[in-house]
Amino acid sequence: MTTDQVKPTILSVFRGETNHKGKVIPKRRVGKCLFYEGSGNHVLHIDLLPNQGHTFFLKPSAAPDKDYAICIKEPLKTEPGKHLFREVGVARLCDAPNEGLLYLEWDFFGPNSIYMQTLTASPALQKVSA
């Protein structure tokens, strides 16, 4: 079976608010993440503008201030068919009481209360994905 035939796990990307106990409460879905378990690839589809989807990729990071880098894929002009991942933001795993969430921050948006559920997210968060 090729990777094109493998069904990805769909994870929710949403804008959230923190309640008085510090728990993130989903307010509005702003995109989705397709996770391909076989390859470990995370492909983010963000709904920024109507009728225009934006695609980003999560790449693991060894840097101490981030767990993942948010990247865009750009074609190499010198080598057709090859591409380069350029970092445009960071993703950090959340601590208690928000385990199971990644906090996403794009360089061009700054802090914007955007979160992504992970495979370990609670069932309540899975209702946000539509």
Domain ranges for the chain: 9-126
DSSP β-ladder status, 68-75 and 41-49? unpaired
10 within 8 A of 33, measured Cβ to Cβ: yes
42-74 confidence digits (pLDDT tens): 999 988 766 666 899 999 998 988 999 999 999
Backbone angles phi, psi at 44, to 5 degrees: -95, 130
Cis preceding linkage at 123, omega within 30: no
> Which stretch of DSSP H or E encloses residue 16?
strand 9-18
Predicted pLDDT at 105? 94
pLDDT of 1 over the 50 cut? no
Section 10-33 average pLDDT: 94
For residue 118, give the DSSP letter.
-
For residues 8-14, give the mean pLDDT. Answer: 93
Instruction: Give pTM, 2 decimals.
Output: 0.82
